[in-house]
Amino acid sequence: MNPALHLRDFVSADGEPCRQLFHETVRRVNSCDYSPSQVDAWAAASRDRESWLHRFANNFAYVAEHHGVIVGFADMTRSGYLDRLFVSADHQRQGIATMLMDAIESAAQQHGITLIQTHASITAKPFFRSRGFQVVTAQTVACQGVEMTNFVMELHDLGSRDDAKPSATRTALTQELIQERLHE
């Protein structure tokens, strides 16, 4: 790991730098898997700064810094929904996502969370698979009125990486949550 990289807890002052990182990453990285209209809609979902910052409230949230500049962030709800994991377009494939996921998984284990679920983009799906996440289903979601594909993925039993069947109720509830957040 690069010694200039530093992981720390998210603080509210990180909200705007993380929002800008998200916007830039979607435009530069996710554009390889999504159309220009999909990228525009996805990036526009971060327009409301207050809603963006509010989504971090009460989550396990971490930022990765390189020489004091935020180069990645991740946050997970207290119920185990990995809401966001983004790494700067200029810092891809440097172990930052791995470092952030290690912190998320550690927080989950410390708080008795045995299932982490996320809605992974086409771009992020290979990373999550490499971490042991299983695809529950591919889905088409509407973001700012534009349809796009993502994948409901789950990581089961963090202690033993057991591949038990996902909870249909939990999957349905998480899908409702992500739909609400896409329409904020």
**Domain CATH for 96:** 3.40.630.30
- Reported as a pLDDT band with limits 50, 70 and 90, residue 51 is confident
Confidence grade of residue 159 (pLDDT, cut at 50, 70, 90)? low
The phi-psi region of residue 36 (left if phi > 0; otherwise alpha if psi is between -120 and 50; otherwise beta) is alpha
Residue 165 belongs to domain spanning: 5-182
pLDDT at residue 49 in the model: 81
Look at the alpha carbons of 71, 61, 150, 157 in this order and tell me if their dihedral is positive or negative: positive
State the total domains in the chain. Answer: 1
- Interval 56-79: pLDDT, tens: 999 999 999 999 999 999 999 999
Q: What is the DSSP string of 107-168?
A: HHHHTT--EEEEEEETTTHHHHHHTT-EEEEEEEEEETTEEEEEEEEEEE-TTTT--PPPPH
Task: Give the number of other Cβ atoms within 10 Å of residue 143's Cβ.
Answer: 21
The pLDDT of residue 177 is above 50:
no
Q: pTM of the entire structure?
A: 0.83
Q: Of all residues in the chain, what percent carry a pLDDT higher than 70? A: 84
